Structure 1
Amino acid sequence: MNKLPKGLWPVMITPFTTSNHIDLEGLESLTNMYLEAGANGMFANCLSSEMYQLTSEERLFLTSNVVKLCEDKVPVVATGTFSRDITTNSEFIKKIYDTGVDAVILITSLLVEPDENEDILKARLEQIMAETGNIPLGVYECPVPYKRLLSPAIMQWMASTERFIYHKDTSCNSLSLAKKASAVEGTNFGVYNADTSTALDSLDSGSRGISPISANFYPEPYSYLLKEYFTNGRTKELNRLHAFLTMMDRVTHSFYPYAAKLFLQKRGLKIETNTRIPTETLTNVDNIRINALMDSFKALAEMYDFKLVL
């Protein structure tokens, strides 16, 4: 199994039409925006994609179209587990892999119940591996249905199987990230941090990249941060940019993913704000915060002279 590239891996949102069908034109515009902004890979059919609100057919349709749009440009990974039944998961893993993705992602909290230990998790991972041939795999500590974090020990075992190449970490803890990165050091199993606040710490300790939801609002500063880090290390200026992004990140988590679609629409991307996840109406204060986020983003672009793709 080859290593996946370092850098920015957006957790892609899904554009819907006004009738709540997948919007292919919007998906193409969105994917091209990520690519132009410097994304190094794509995570399609994830929580940000409203994956639990899609049918199995829609998950395959969405993923296959992202793969086509990213062909010969960047690799794509996508979720393949939506059941607590291992054989059902294994069958869908094969289907999602047939779309052309580079790895199929397993949701940790769907493989074991909250009170089941890692020995049970390991046994179920072994069963999935036995039922899915040589398909490259990844794992995602998805917070839905509940957040199931992995230990460094089981990650070390997973790396030793040579089947796992992507891990989306949601621990939001610098020490935990460092231990996990150390456990898989020297292998093809890469750690990709979902959290903005610990982004630079995680890169310092060996994570291969980041997958924050705020990159669905403004991927450009994240791409800039990663390129600068991998070129010059953790400079004073980079710490300053990271501080701004950390503060801005507090706004992006409200009304998500609706707010991301609204923000992109305000930026000029031709997509609707429709979501399949019920969203409360934004208050006057919420709209002021979204507008302030836009002003902050544009100010960062001037300060750091990175190109806006929209």
Structure 2
Amino acid sequence: MKKFQGIIPVMITPFAETGEIDYDGVGKLVEWYIANGSDALFAVCQSSEMQFLSLNERVELAAFVKKAAAGRVPVIASGHVAESLEEQSEELNAIAATGVDGMVLVTNRLDAKQQGGTKFIDDLDWLLAKLPSDLPLGLYECPAPYRRLLTDEELMYCANGGRFHILKDVSCDLETVKRRVALVKDTPLAIVNANAAIAYDAMKAGSLGFTGVFTNFHPDLYKWLFENRHAASKLADELSIYLALAAMAEPMGYPKLAKLYHQRLGTFGSAHSRVIGIDIREKYWALDALLDKIVEGTELFRTRLAEHAKGR
């Protein structure tokens, strides 16, 4: 059983200027993630603009990423965006058929009308009965169209069932992460935090990695922080502060922001986004200057980590 732990980028989707998926760019992006220390890849998620992809595109994208990764890292994917459970079953089974290593259920798609009570678990049980029983599953508290956090009871139901292996935790609250880590102890379910502000503290508290949006900028820095989470150091403290502050750029047009970054790197050619249709340089003043500082800070810490490894 492959583990869905460590640094797990939430993949962005490169598009051509004409709007279709740029698969050459996707392939280069997969290579970049792996070269920069990623432990798994989360394809077809909110960062992938999954709500703006057709079902065929979601399926093709998941299959392409799985093939491109070529067994070097596990690939997990979500992709159910419909309201009705029947349509979600169709979506999820289509994703499952791509051969991805794990499939991630979005919490706000269960009890989609927010009826409360046992409706979440009832919907979950209905879906689970329709999905391949041997496919490892995950949970994702996706913020869109609204953030639906699991209750402790729902979390334990999933953890004790044995089929779930990762929760992408979007509580953005350290105490909640700590409580959840304690709740799922001795179950297959790993809690993996997605919030940069608490990333280091969450790692030290038992979050088994990081899966936030700035894995699209410097996954290797998060990787070092995770691998050194139990070795207290001034360098780790300073790095965690930089990572938290850099991630505050997210509201400035992400995921298009990350695409501008990869355009600079030469990973792919276009920053086209279906979610963000505006010119973010025009809306967010000094955006390129901010990207410059993120790049400079990233390179500064890469240099410091290399010197640290040499014992300087």
Q: What band does the TM-score fall into relative to the shorter chain?
A: over 0.9
Quick check: 1:60–1:99 contact (8 Å CA) kept in 2? Answer: yes
Q: Deviations over 1:51-103 (max 9, x none)?
A: 01100000001000000011221111111421121122122211101111122
Runs of 5+ consecutive residues of structure 2 not aligned to the other structure? 308-312
Aligned sequence identity (%): 29
Structure 1 residue 74 corresponds to structure 2 residue 73: yes
> Structure 2 CA distance, aligned partners of 1:155 and 1:85?
22
Q: What's the CA shift for 1:118?
A: 4.8
> Structure 2 CA distance, aligned partners of 1:164 and 1:281?
38
Q: 3-state SS of the aligned residue for 1:168?
A: strand
> Structure 2 CA distance, aligned partners of 1:281 and 1:91?
36
Structure 1 residue 297 corresponds to structure 2 residue 298: yes
Question: After superposition, where does 1:155-170 map in structure 2 within 5 Å?
Answer: 155-170=155-170
After superposition, the CA RMSD in angstroms is 1.7
Q: What's the CA shift for 1:5?
A: 4.2
Single out whichever of 3-12 and 66-75 deviates more from structure 2. Answer: 3-12
Q: Which residue is 1:179 aligned to? A: 179
Quick check: 1:107–1:139 contact (8 Å CA) kept in 2? Answer: yes
CA shift in 2, pair 1:51/1:30, >3 Å = same
Runs of 5+ consecutive residues of structure 1 not aligned to the other structure? none
Quick check: 2:15–2:21 contact (8 Å CA) kept in 1? Answer: yes
Q: Which letter maps to 2:305?
A: Y
Q: 3-state SS of the aligned residue for 2:105?
A: strand
> Structure 1 CA distance, aligned partners of 2:107 and 2:232?
32
Q: Which letter maps to 1:102?
A: D
> Structure 2 CA distance, aligned partners of 1:61 and 1:5?
22
Q: Deviations over 1:254-293 (max 9, x none)?
A: 1111110111121232331111122334144222212222
Question: After superposition, where does 1:16-165 map in structure 2 within 5 Å?
Answer: 16-113=15-112, 115-134=114-133, 135-165=135-165
Q: 1:266 aligns with which of 264, 270, 273?
A: 264
Q: Deviations over 1:169-215 (max 9, x none)?
A: 11100001111111111111111111111112222222211101011
Quick check: 2:58–2:79 contact (8 Å CA) kept in 1? Answer: no
Q: Which residue is 1:257 aligned to? A: 255
Quick check: 1:82–1:110 contact (8 Å CA) kept in 2? Answer: yes
Quick check: 1:118–1:154 contact (8 Å CA) kept in 2? Answer: no
> Structure 2 CA distance, aligned partners of 1:119 and 1:280?
44
Q: 3-state SS of the aligned residue for 2:228?
A: helix
Q: Taking structure 1 as the reference length, what is the TM-score of the superposition?
A: 0.93
